[in-house]
Amino acid sequence: MNVDELTAIDVHAHVEIDGHGHRSLPDDLVEASAKYFGADHRTPGLAEIAAHYRERRMAAVVFTVDIEASTGHPTLSNEDIAEAAAEHPDALIPFASVDPAKGKAGARRFRALVEDHGMRGIKFHPSLQDFAPNDHSAYPLLEVAQELGVPALFHTGQTGIGAGLPGGGGIRLSLSNPMLLDDVAVDFPDLTIIMAHPSFPWQDEALAVATHKPKVYIDLSGWSPKYFPPQLVRYANTLLQDKVLFGSDFPLITPDRWLADFARLEIKDHVRPKILKENAVKALGLRETR
């Protein structure tokens, strides 16, 4: 991947369907999420995702979420995602997803996904996977990530998945409080951690952790920039200008929609390229920063 040719790097794009039509989430959760975001059920495959970003001279971090232990729903193949990314290296950056409930066996698998299949990081969704980031269940996976120098991306804040279903579909929002990641950053000081999304209703907690812990970043996915909390914009322009990342939440929010609203946001001119690409280059280890 020649990052110099890219206009932006989207660090948050979901793979929601495989080549056999299998979805990454149960149908009721997919429908609830689409309703929450006001989106349709469009679920592009990996080749289509690659073409979408290539047309825009962008690259995207792509991943599924392994929720097999908590829901019984079979996960999409990490290996298939890695293979597709290898076929489209100019546009796709693959992250693995391994349910923390799989323990040491999951950690061995994650190591193989990085070393043998080219995965560049790991994605967690604590509320969907039913674990607290600091309860040590994910620590075998995080030990591998830290050792191999790949980042860990954690969903934070509220989720549209399960919204409106009885009991929220059994999904516990409290597990995605970003303050739980402060413990992870202490226990894994050399691990790059990306907190996904403006962390409603815990935005100040996310800002505090990212400001205090040097290897913790925030991605801006899942929200249109016109709805960003003012303190998030203020910190992105100042203290966290080197630690905030463009992310869309594709396909529920497209990069076109996100970028159109971002263009109208009051972000300093010298900060925009950092958010759109430069910070991601550093966080993802794509090349040495100048």
Single out the residue of 231, 142, 144, 226 nearest to residue 180, CA to CA.
142
Tens digit of pLDDT for each residue in 172-200? 999 999 999 999 999 999 999 999 999 99
**Of residues 2 and 278, more confidently modeled:** 278
pLDDT at 290: 36
* Percent of the chain at pLDDT exceeding 90: 81
Between these two residues, 103 and 70, which has the higher pLDDT value?
Answer: 103
Of 37-41, 119-123, 220-224, the one with minimum mean pLDDT is 37-41
Candidates 116, 173, 105; CA nearest to 141 is: 105
What are the boundaries of each domain within the chain?
3-283
What pTM was computed for the model?
0.94
Architecture of the CATH domain 3-283: Alpha-Beta Barrel (3.20)
pLDDT band at 161; cut points 50, 70, 90: confident
pLDDT for residue 242: 98
Could you tell me the maximum CA-CA distance found in the chain, to the nearest angstrom? Answer: 51
pLDDT-based confidence at residue 127 (cuts at 50, 70, 90): very high
Residue 63 pLDDT greater than 90, yes or no: yes
Q: Which residues contact 10 (CB under 8 A, 6 or more apart)?
A: 53, 58, 59, 60, 61, 221, 246, 247, 248, 250, 255
